[in-house]
Amino acid sequence: MILTPPYLLFIGDATDPLSIKMAKSVADWNPDACIGEYALPGCEVSTGLPAMTINEAVSQGANTFVLGFANSGGFIDEAWVPTIVEAIEAGMHVVSGLHDKLTNIPAVVEAASRIDRQLIDIRHPTTRFKTGKGIKRSGKRLLTVGTDCSVGKMYTSLSLTRALNEAGKKATFRATGQSGILVAGEGVAIDCVVADFISGAVETLSPDNDDDHWDIIEGQGSLSHPAFAGVSLGLLHGSQPDALVICHALNRSHMRGLPHYPQPTLEDVIEMTTKAASLTNPDVKVVGIAVNTSSVSEEEARQYCEDISQKLGLPCTDPVRFGVSNIVGAL
Amino acid sequence: MILTPPYLLFIGDATDPLSIKMAKSVADWNPDACIGEYALPGCEVSTGLPAMTINEAVSQGANTFVLGFANSGGFIDEAWVPTIVEAIEAGMHVVSGLHDKLTNIPAVVEAASRIDRQLIDIRHPTTRFKTGKGIKRSGKRLLTVGTDCSVGKMYTSLSLTRALNEAGKKATFRATGQSGILVAGEGVAIDCVVADFISGAVETLSPDNDDDHWDIIEGQGSLSHPAFAGVSLGLLHGSQPDALVICHALNRSHMRGLPHYPQPTLEDVIEMTTKAASLTNPDVKVVGIAVNTSSVSEEEARQYCEDISQKLGLPCTDPVRFGVSNIVGAL
């Protein structure tokens, strides 16, 4: 899977900042790969990149049009097809992170074929995986796990990788979701793998490595989320993590998308996750807590992290506000 | 996915009884749906049904030709293609439980298209599922869960359904694997669903029902199996089981296919499974233990079941040897 930057990030008519996570991630973590963003009327959010039209982006060198938003179910709305075709006809390849395949839309396939542009559905792995074996691999692994979906697992993983690299340590970010893949340029969209191969795919994603090398594996979903816990468990088993970082969003009233499901406590998540992880790595340890504290003031955030750290005996931080040096120190 | 019996069961040139599990399952559990079996020279096993040619089967009313065997890799041998085409030209739809798709074989697709027959790859769900919602559904549900793979979950589920029906209770077997789908005529091959939709697919498979109706849902894999636990957890959450039956095979030395993984204890499986299941149904209860005791004598088997029943305070049986009346009684 070879992506061709720079990108024009298409954010549709999104109104929820969380729904443009893919566009925002690459804008934040790989800005050199981005030219700008393109929104439709009604869009209420932004990546922070300059807004521009398709033709403006192409004239500034954009090579690829990225569908950088998500929706429940991951469908490609009929209404977006003319925009996608317009982008192709302007000369761009198209990357999508949605479940629906670009390659299943006749008008899009026709346009791409006509002027020889690529359609890349990054959520649809083309590799043929094997089932998991659970055999111990060399090298060290850290997995970020969540109390819920969309709590900052990718951001935390990227922060940890960057901090380790800056400290002169060997570390590689292993992307398991479409945003991470767009940032890293490679990876496996683990929630799109056929269920039989979840842990096997992760074993492939994070192969044997040097003894002093850390794979920082991006977590997905949550063991406490009724829709996605299966993905999270397969990812946990395939990762064989030596270290876990628990990611949490402060002041959520319920599990994402499910108002009838309360959030689990950090203590419950620690207990449940270490127990499950011990199947493939009995030496697994939680090494830190990463909290998205954006719902409170910086002072309250600092106090919360201190309290949690005290209570659980673990480093706790908000990676965005305070960095991850305390967790990296504990590795 | 809905099939059209009666079937002619094609068992190829199989020599291992385990490799025709799919054909044998439907011959044992739904003989009225079967006309006979068709084997190639060299075949050393049988479903017990009368052997016949394709034309004989069609003249006796066969509507569907079933590839009822498995092989390592799940491939469709080139050598079988003429036979499959012959079956189509004789007027039959074709069902396959192999990994390779019928719909990827040009000669087969051409023949089916020419005389308007269906090609059904039952391991490849065509339904478009939604992600799980975890909303409580009406009716009652029982899920069979395993200490390992291939321990008798399908057999136990079918036995329970039959026993409930014979006792005048409303009960429906819900198939989640290719053999079960062939027996039931419908279902979802849950290990072949895209990982994001495991629990959502199970919610679709077992919808709202009468308050006094039992869905008996066929389990897959095991929470203790490093390759397949993700599938098992998604299936558990989507099932929202009121009742669990733990299925176990006596005297296995290790997890199936993984000599480096020991078997879990029944106590561990009960604790882990009820804890995980309580996310979507806090009232979940283990109601019985079903053991495959084929490795020991009938007397030893009876003693083992009595000991386990005593130790765990639950009905315990070998469904093949002793039936499931004690578990059904406990429902």
Question: Per residue in B156-190, pLDDT tens?
Answer: 999 999 999 999 999 999 999 999 999 999 999 99
CATH number of this structure's domain B140-330: 3.40.50.300
Q: How many CA atoms lie within 13 A of A28 on its CB side?
A: 17
Task: Spell A121-136 as b/e; 16+ CB within 10 A means b.
Answer: bbbbbeeebebbbbee
Residue B199 to residue B195: CA distance in whole angstroms: 9
To 10 degrees, the CA torsion angle through A273, A256, B128, B122?
A: 10
pLDDT score for B129:
92
Provide the 3-class DSSP secondary structure of residue B30: coil
Residues in chain A with CB shorter than 8 Å from the CB of B222 are none
Q: What average pLDDT does this structure show over B22-28?
A: 96
Lowest mean pLDDT across A72-81, A257-266, B63-72: A72-81
- Cβ atoms of A65 and A92 within 8 Å: the answer is yes
Is residue A223 a contact partner of residue A269, using CB atoms and an 8 Å limit? Answer: yes
Tens of pLDDT, residues B245-291: 999 999 998 999 999 999 999 999 999 999 999 999 999 999 999 99
pLDDT reported for residue B190 = 96
Q: What angle do CA B35, B36, B41 make, to 5 degrees?
A: 155
Strand order in the sheet with A7-12: A34-39, A7-12, A64-67, A93-96, A119-121
Of B196, B229, B280, which has the smallest distance from its Cβ to A237's Cβ? B229
- How close, in Å, is residue A129 to chain B by CA atoms? 12
Say if the Cβ atoms of B195 and A193 lie within 8 Å: yes
Cα A49 to Cα B239: distance, rounded to the nearest angstrom: 44
Contact across the interface for B198 and A195, Cβ inside 8 Å? yes
Helix runs in chain A, H state only: 21-29, 54-59, 81-89, 106-114, 153-166, 178-184, 198-205, 229-239, 266-277, 298-312, 319-322, 325-330
A35 close to A27: Cβ distance less than 8 angstroms: no
* B173 CB-near residues (< 8 Å, 6+ apart): B157, B158, B161, B180, B183, B184, B216, B218
Chain A residues with CB under 8 Å of B192 CB are: 194-196
Comparing A141-155, A275-289, B115-129, the range with the smallest average pLDDT is B115-129
In B18-114, the DSSP E strands lie at 34-39, 64-67, 93-96
- The answer to whether A250 touches A304, Cβ cutoff 8 Å, is yes
The secondary structure of residue B186, as a DSSP letter, is: B
Measure the CA–CA gap between A59 and A63, rounded to whole angstroms.
10
Please give the residue of chain B at the shortest CA–CA distance from A264. Answer: B279
CA A198 from centre of chain:
16
CB A63 within 8 A of CB A5: yes
List all residues of chain A from 91 to 130 with a beta carbon under 8 Å from chain B. Answer: 99
A75 pLDDT above the threshold of 90: no
Any B CB within 8 A of A143 CB: no
CA contacts within 13 A on the Cβ side of B71: 12
| Chain A interface includes B196 (CB < 8 A) | yes
Note the pLDDT tens digit of each residue in B43-58.
999 999 999 999 999 9
What is the rounded CA–CA span in Å between residue A143 and residue B266?
Answer: 29
Q: What pLDDT does residue A127 have?
A: 83
Who contacts B162 (Cβ-Cβ below 8 Å, separation ≥6)?
Answer: none
* CATH topology agreement for domains B7-121 and B140-330: yes
* Structure confidence at residue B99 (pLDDT): 85
Can you tell me the mean pLDDT for B132-152? 97
Which three-class secondary structure state does DSSP give residue A297? coil
Most confident of the ranges A98-102, A193-197, B121-125: A193-197
Q: Is B126 helix (H, G, I), strand (E, B) or coil?
A: coil
Closest approach of chain A CAs to the CA of B110, in angstroms? Answer: 21
Q: Which residue has the tokens 């800056």?
A: A166
Please state, in angstroms and as integers, the Cα–Cα distance from residue B145 to each residue in A60, A139, B141, B286, following that order.
Answer: 58, 34, 13, 10
Q: What is the pLDDT of residue A39?
A: 95
Give residue A288's pLDDT: 98
Q: Where are the domains of chain B?
A: 7-121, 140-330
How many angstroms away from the CA of A145 is the closest CA of chain B? 15
pLDDT the model gives residue A1: 63
Say how far apart CA A160 and CA A156 lie, in whole Å.
6
Whether A72 and chain B come into contact, CB under 8 Å, resolves to: yes
The reported pLDDT for the residue numbered B280 is 98
CA proximity to A321, closest of A290, A281, A287 = A290
Which two three-digit tokens encode residue B110? 């051409």
CB–CB of A279 and B231 under 8 A?
Answer: no
Q: Which two tokens stand for residue A203?
A: 């074993």
Mean pLDDT of B206-215: 98
Residue B70: the pLDDT is 84
Confidence of residue A133 (pLDDT cuts 50, 70, 90): very high
Name the DSSP class of A72. T
* B2 vs A: CB within 8 A: no
Q: What is the mean predicted confidence (pLDDT) over B6-29?
A: 94
Interface mutation target, options A101, A225, A279, chain B, most CBs of B under 10 Å: A279
- Looking at the predicted structure, is the pLDDT value of residue B42 above 70? yes
Rounded to the nearest angstrom, the minimum Cα separation between B132 and chain A is: 4
Mean pLDDT of A313-321: 98
A7-121: CATH, from 3.90.1150.10, 3.40.50.720, 3.40.50.2300, 3.60.20.10 = 3.40.50.720
CA of A174 vs chain B CAs: smallest distance (Å) = 18
Considering only CA atoms, which of B17, B32, B16 is closest in space to residue B183?
A: B32
Q: Look at strands B119-121 and B93-96 and give their pairing.
A: parallel
What pLDDT score was predicted for residue B95?
Answer: 97
- Strand A7-12, strand B170-174: pairing: unpaired
**Residues A205-212: what's their mean pLDDT?**
98
Does position B231 have pLDDT exceeding 90, yes or no?
Answer: yes
CB contact under 8 A, B226 and A73: no
